[in-house]
Amino acid sequence: MISSEELMAYLGDCILSIKPHQQTEALQLNFQQNVNDTMMVLPKLSTGLDVNVRFTGVSDFEYTPECIIFDLLNIPLYHGWLVDPQIPDVAEAVGKLSYNQLVEKIITCKHSSDPNLVTEGLIAEQFLESTASQLTYHGLCELTSTVKEGELSVFFRNNHFSAMIKHKSHLYLLVTDQGFLHEEQVVWESLHNVDGDSCFCDAEFHLSHALGKEAAGGSPEEGEEQQQQHLNQRQVDQDYMIALSLQQQQGGSALSDLELAQQLQQEEYQQQQPQQPPVAAPAAQGRGPPPPPRPSGERRPRQKQDLDCVVL
């Protein structure tokens, strides 16, 4: 464990230990000014920095004192909120403006008497509304091609900063949600979808058995039918992730449907074994009834497998 004060002090020492590469007087003065600006920004790291993205590139930000700290520490800063150049009307409406500049342009255009400007403002406004997640598919493609293999960087999205790494051509974000504090097998979250449909991996980038963010359960306002659908979907997701994990444990070799079903049945039986009551209990929804208790030493009869059809 480390406190925020200790972390700020450590980063401050790192910044003060940096020396400029060139020793000219002008560069020395500029470097010293950057260090002073960075030390003023440093306390904001514990509460949040304000950066202003540009929609033209994954590393394009308005140059502010908040960005200087990333430059001094040589930490790449990326975002994925880009305009697709193949949509010319949107690209023209947004241009090379930053987010703050684009908001000002929309307000000005909407109050203009020129119909062309009004239309341009509406197109820009529609772009911001349709990309409210601050990530586009064009931006995701640009991120994948720009970030270097094994490179540690910072990813900015939805006014949050995340540690990002590229592993075997895939992007992953470090999981820092409080809900995963005690999930030791959840370390990285894949970044491959704009809508947040992601997978969770352990420290070695192996698929984790832990469920996704929706695993917290249904809300109290949900009806019984919605809650049951939610539970069923959770079970399907868990079975699917277990199946993928089993395939990874086989060294990447593909398993037949029969082999996969047999391993899944064995996995579920082992997970349920500690919870087996001493007497038969009512079955949970979506599950079959548990088998009756057997005398000690009795062997569990093996059910004959139907080789023609296996249901996962």
Q: Look at residue 273 in the predicted model and tell me its pLDDT.
A: 59
Binned at pLDDT 50, 70 and 90, residue 311 comes out as low
Q: How far apart are the first and last CA of the chain?
A: 43
Q: Which residue type is seen at 310?
A: V
- Top mean pLDDT of 148-157, 208-217, 247-256, 279-288 is at 148-157
Cα–Cα nearest to 139, from 60, 249, 28 = 60
According to the model, what pLDDT value does residue 210 have? 54
d(CA 271, CA 274): 7
Q: Count other C-beta atoms under 10 Å from residue 121's C-beta.
A: 21
Q: Containing H/E element for 157?
A: strand 152-157
Higher-confidence residue of 113 and 231: namely: 113
pLDDT at 158: 85
Residue pLDDT, tens place only, 162-182 = 999 999 999 999 998 888 888
289 pLDDT exceeds 50? Answer: no
Query: At 27, is the pLDDT very low, low, confident or very high (cuts 50, 70, 90)?
Result: confident
Residue 284 has pLDDT above 50, yes or no: no
Q: Domain spans of the chain?
A: 1-48, 88-130, 215-271
Residues 6+ apart with CB under 8 A from 99: 52, 53, 54, 55, 81
Mean pLDDT of the chain: 77
Q: What is the pLDDT of residue 308?
A: 61
**pLDDT beyond 50 at 291:** no
What are φ and ψ of residue 208, in 5° steps?
A: -85, 150
For residue 187, which of 210, 170, 168 has the smallest C-alpha distance? 210
Beta strands in 178-253 (DSSP E): 188-190, 200-201
Which stretch of 67-76, 259-268, 288-297 has the lowest confidence by average pLDDT? 288-297
Poorest-pLDDT segment among 52-56, 131-135, 260-264, 270-274? 270-274
- Burial of residue 200, with CB atoms counted within 10 A of its CB: 0-12 exposed, 13-18 middle, 19 or more buried: buried
Least confident range of 48-52, 90-94, 204-208, 214-218: 214-218
Q: Compare 30 and 105 and report the one with higher pLDDT.
A: 105
Structure tokens at 99: 């987010």
Tens digits of residue pLDDT in 222-247: 444 554 554 455 555 555 555 555 55
